[in-house]
Amino acid sequence: MRNNVLSKVLGVFSIAVLGSSFTYSQAIKTLPLTPPPLLLGAAWYPEQWPESRWEADLELMQKAHLHMVRLGEYSWSRIEPEEGKYDFDWMERAIDDVGKHGIFVVIGTPTQAPPAWLTEKYPQTMRVLEDGRNVGRGERANFNWADPKYRELTRGIDEQLAKRFGHNPYVIAWQIDNEYNFVSYDDNTRRQFQEWLKTKYGTLDSINQRLDSAYWGQTYTSWDQIPIPNTHGNPGLMLRWKEFVSDTWRSYQKNQIDAIREHALPSQRITTNMMGWFDGYDHYVVARDLDFTAWDDPLGHWSNPYDPVKNAATHDLVRGFKDMNFWVMETTAGSNMAKGQMRAAIWEDIGHGAEATSYWQWRDSLNGQEQNHKGTLVGVDGTPTPVYEEIAQVGREYEKVGPAVRATTVKSKVAILQSYKSRWTINWQRENPYYNPIDELMSYYRPLHALGQSIDIVSPTDNLSRYKLVVAPGLDVIPQAVVENLMRYVEQGGNLVLGQRSGMKDGDNSRWPQRQPGPLTTILGGRVEQYFALIHSVPVTGDWGANESQLFAERIQVQVPDVKVLMRYGKSNGWLDGSPAAITRKVGRGTITYIGIWMDDAGMKNAAQWMVGMSKVKPDLLPVPEGVEIERRVGAGKTIFMIENFSKSEQIVSLPHTMTDMLAGGSVQNVTLPVYGVAVLTQKTDRPASQN
């Protein structure tokens, strides 16, 4: 319907301007267009196909109810075939053709794939590996993100793009580059790192003292002696390098944002596509200058089978980068996704705060490094693949539900703290090779999630006052500002739970002079006397039942009488026998708890039940059978639940009261879900979410 109306309007307008100097592209720019609340899209590469093919592609997109395409992010050699000579006409034709089909556009800046003329003329723009070799032409992300000349050239191409398309009404967003990842180890980058250190520390005496450079004779007498550290370098310098990398990605991105903002409408929002749990840089730092965040969510790869709970946590992570709704810029159904599973996974995206889901990619490539992808909507012959109709169903459902979802988001009373500094430092010194900080975080997330809690995953520097329960697994690095933030949260009535390996390091990745958890030992009323990287599990027992600590165990000493011991070690290595393994203490109106053990699923379930009971946080989600995922979005006077059945059998969800089923229609008291079935329910906010 929307496209028929659009065509009629455009036809009338074309007659009105016939014979004038207006082009068709100028005509469509006069139309007031607003993208729908929920966007379904795909990555499209028109430059890889003859223009005679475009119309067939766009007709299939329209039939699939796509609302958005991303294009341009690998097209620099087509846009600027020679330095200073631009060809945007083909892109404008593509965007105009997209618009004729009622579809909007995200322009990806082409800066991840510099053309051959650029790297040949300016070899310093090429990325250098740690061993000193240049990355070859045609390899992924072969550019140097820190090189001034490359930044000059990227700003130039972005300015030209923004001048041409910054007021095009079909362009609703820009994606800067593509999946920030690789860094360069060239001499100029090393000099920039040294200047960054000079700005941070001021004097050589300061950096030598704070990084304890006397250890192994690392004392510096000149700034140019400081290396880019490798994985066995000084721990403080390694942390500083990762912070430099993060700041450099942010400035690389800001250079492009500024170029676009100078010429584009404010309504054209700017983002980049991040990669979930990837830790090559601090995402909280890089996200600061973006209008919203987005991430790429590859699904069903043989090496990474789809896990709906871990995928849910990744959505919560990305939502926490800016504490706002986000986009899934790329998602793909790999060969291990069952029929219907992709649709269920996409609705889980929306439930956790996504406003757009974009498929990668529209059509399989005939050549190039990413051919034979299997997860495309259209095959090499231009006809739909089996998943096409499943995606089309999602597009129709987005249009049906979108208006109700507008202006809603996830609201949580439980938060888990996630720190890139802590993840880096633990990964550098795992102690136990199987100790993974993401797995540690998930050992807390899964049982809390199963208890019906919406969960925010946020930075330890965030304002925590809105949460009744804050859990900090593996918060290894706690700079003084974080110490103060956590103490303020507890003293004002919050309930803080610190997991094992918390509070060991300060902001320089040096050991705090206090035992764990560093400056928090005073309000905890206890400390970690010793930690053990375990070869064999050790028994623990107490308020959370009988269990075993895996991978890691911390012997805790109680220092004040009002501390309660929650768990103790059983007989094991002699050093741990009978010692406290988890303790808690009331502090003013709040509480602080330290858990020095990594228990199995049953133990963590009991611990999670204790946490929510102690903090008096009630479930905000409806009870559902095992294997069924549920999410809640609230706002604009309504509450919306998304429910997906990822189990292996049909499931029935009993509701506490009648709700409206927005997909099936009508009022329901029970919802029957086939395998991979989906329901979207709504209720007014004056009704309780559950009977609890």
* DSSP character string of 330-368: EEEE-TTPPTTHHHHHHHHHHHTTEEEEEES-SB--SSS
Q: Is the pLDDT of residue 8 over 80?
A: no
Look at residue 691 in the predicted model and tell me its pLDDT.
38
In sequence order, which ranges of 74-127 are alpha helices (DSSP H)?
A: 76-79, 89-100, 116-121
Look at residue 389 in the predicted model and tell me its pLDDT.
96
Confidence of residue 364 (pLDDT cuts 50, 70, 90): confident
Structure tokens at 49: 């196909």
Find out whether 109 and 174 touch, Cβ atoms under 8 Å: yes
Please give the sequence-ordered ranges of beta strands (E in DSSP) within 400-542, or none if there are none.
414-417, 455-458, 469-472, 495-498, 526-533, 538-542
Find out whether 645 and 651 touch, Cβ atoms under 8 Å: yes
Find out whether 685 and 661 touch, Cβ atoms under 8 Å: no
Please give the sequence-ordered ranges of beta strands (E in DSSP) within 136-189, or none if there are none.
171-175
Look at residue 270 in the predicted model and tell me its pLDDT.
98
Please state at what angle helix 89-100 crosses helix 51-63, rounded to 10 degrees: 30
Please state, in angstroms and rounded to a whole number, the distance separating the CA atoms of residues 128 and 146. Answer: 11
Q: Is the pLDDT of residue 11 over 90?
A: no
CA atoms within 13 A on the CB side of 249: 28
Instruction: Give percent of the chain above pLDDT 70.
Output: 92
Look at residue 363 in the predicted model and tell me its pLDDT.
86
Find out whether 619 and 522 touch, Cβ atoms under 8 Å: no
Please state, in angstroms and rounded to a whole number, the distance separating the CA atoms of residues 577 and 416. Answer: 31
Q: Is the pLDDT of residue 606 over 90?
A: yes
Please state, in angstroms and rounded to a whole number, the distance separating the CA atoms of residues 343 and 677. Answer: 9
DSSP 8-state assignment for residue 406? T
Find out whether 236 and 212 touch, Cβ atoms under 8 Å: yes
Is the pLDDT higher at 27 or at 107?
Answer: 107
Lowest mean pLDDT among 81-85, 172-176, 296-300, 668-672: 296-300
Please state, in angstroms and rounded to a whole number, the distance separating the CA atoms of residues 38 and 35. Answer: 8
Q: What is the pTM of this model?
A: 0.93
Largest Cα–Cα distance in the chain? 93
Using DSSP's 3-state secondary structure scheme, residue 154 falls into: helix
Q: Is the pLDDT of residue 369 over 80?
A: no
**Alpha-carbon dihedral angle through residues 300, 313, 68, 269, given to the nearest 10 degrees:** -150
Confidence of residue 367 (pLDDT cuts 50, 70, 90): low
Q: Is the pLDDT of residue 19 over 50?
A: no
